[in-house]
Amino acid sequence: MKKIILLMVVSLIISSVLNVHAQERKKLAQTGMKFLSVSLDPRAAALSDAMTTIQNNSASMLYNPSAMAEMDRMVDYSFGTTRWIADINYIHGTAALNLFDGQYGVIGLSLVAVDYGEFNGTIVANNDDGYIDVGTYKPTAIALGFGYAKALSQKFSVGGNIRFVRQSMGTAVVTVDPTGKAVSKEHKAEVLSFDFGMLYHTGFKSLDFGMSIRNFSKEIKYIDESFQLPLTFKIGLSMNLIDLTEIDRGMHSFLLSVDASHPRDYPEQVSIGAEYTFLNTFSIRGGYTFPTDEQEFSAGVGFKQELSGVNFSIDYSYTPFGIFDNVHRVSVNIGY
């Protein structure tokens, strides 16, 4: 056990050291479909995405699919919305089914959709203005996923997720034929992406260790440019620090989580999140990620209650984004 804990600590230290060296080589503008990198679950966002070892409901598919195997209910649903920067709006939904009390694992479905709003379209023309107004176009993005997770033992769980990802820049007029008729074309890209994860309960108090790989796919070509998805590798540790005290766990919980991430298009990052819960009902959360360009601390609250055998929870998070708009997220979770 000591060797396992030492290995996990060393892994996190190495990731932190790599973070320092990564500052010397900027990894920017190397991926596409960046909407896949946006954190949508309010609880996760409030903890600055230090979620590799936490979450035990259907929303786990969006972070570490193996954590879905820890689901203690037969059916779980989660729905949420995110008001992102630049008036971009996200909606997401997840659903999971526990097959025969976990004997055959847990299956899940996920949906992420993005509304970028409407934009004015123009094409170059030989007139006084130099262009012709051709109306508006509306970019969209969507990701549909199917996930599966299984607890291989009381300590070890694995999971995976496959998603169909599609991004459209909208249907726009690209030219005008000799008769003056507009010629339109939809600019889009589609691909299958894969997520993998594992979760290990160390046996020391509530200390957990996890790893995940997200957005693994083949290279995509959009018109003349080729790009890859925002592949991200993460490792993390979490623990309820109340376990180290004599305080009643049924009344208080203080969860501390630390993740180290290795993104394809950004220097290595470390995220730290903390969550205090009173009477397993009210939660206050906070988190911080470094380094970042504009994103600052994150904060959030949550409320959950069981009513007639149905578990109900609502979560909210707030993230300042420097010169950009503040980001707000809200979600509702139902399980039974």
CA-closest candidate to residue 109, choices 60, 157, 169, 74: 60
Containing domain of residue 55, as a range? Answer: 2-335
Report for 115-124, 209-218, 316-325: range of highest mean pLDDT: 209-218
Q: What are the CA-CA distances from residue 24 to residues 18, 161, 273 (Å)?
A: 10, 33, 27
Distance CA 269, CA 289 (A): 7
Taking residues 320-333, report their average pLDDT: 92
Judge whether 293 and 323 are in contact, CB under 8 Å.
no
| For the chain, percent of residues with pLDDT exceeding 90 | 65
Q: What is the pLDDT of residue 125?
A: 79
Question: Would you say residue 24 has pLDDT above 70?
Answer: no
Q: For 86-113, what is the mean pLDDT? A: 94
Give the whole-angstrom CA distance, residue 97 versus residue 148: 10
| Confidence at 22, pLDDT banded by 50, 70, 90 | very low
What is the number of domains present in the chain? 1
Confidence bin at 67 (pLDDT 50/70/90): very high
Confidence class for position 26, pLDDT limits 50, 70, 90: low
**Per-residue confidence (pLDDT) for residue 329, from 0 to 100:** 98
Cβ contacts of residue 330 below 8 Å, gap of 6+?
Answer: 42, 80, 81, 314, 315, 316
For the stretch 285-315, pLDDT in tens is: 999 999 888 787 999 999 999 988 899 999 9
Backbone angles phi, psi at 89, to 5 degrees: -120, 140
Q: Under a CB-based contact definition with an 8 Å cutoff, are residues 184 and 205 in contact?
A: no
More confident site: 264 or 200: 200
- Predicted pLDDT at 295: 80
pLDDT of residue 328: 97
Return the pLDDT at 224: 76
Q: Mean pLDDT across the stretch 199-223?
A: 93
List the single range of 40-54, 178-192, 219-233, 246-260 with lowest mean pLDDT: 178-192
- Worst-scoring range by mean pLDDT, 5-9, 103-107, 145-149, 178-182? 5-9
pLDDT top residue among 2 and 98:
98
Cis ω for the linkage preceding 291 (within 30 of 0): yes
CATH number, domain of 188, equals 2.40.160
* Highest mean pLDDT of the ranges 7-21, 48-62, 123-137, 170-184: 48-62
Query: What is the average pLDDT score of the chain?
Result: 88
State the pLDDT confidence band at 195, using cuts at 50, 70 and 90: very high
Flag whether pLDDT at 21 surpasses 60: no
Amino acid at 35: F
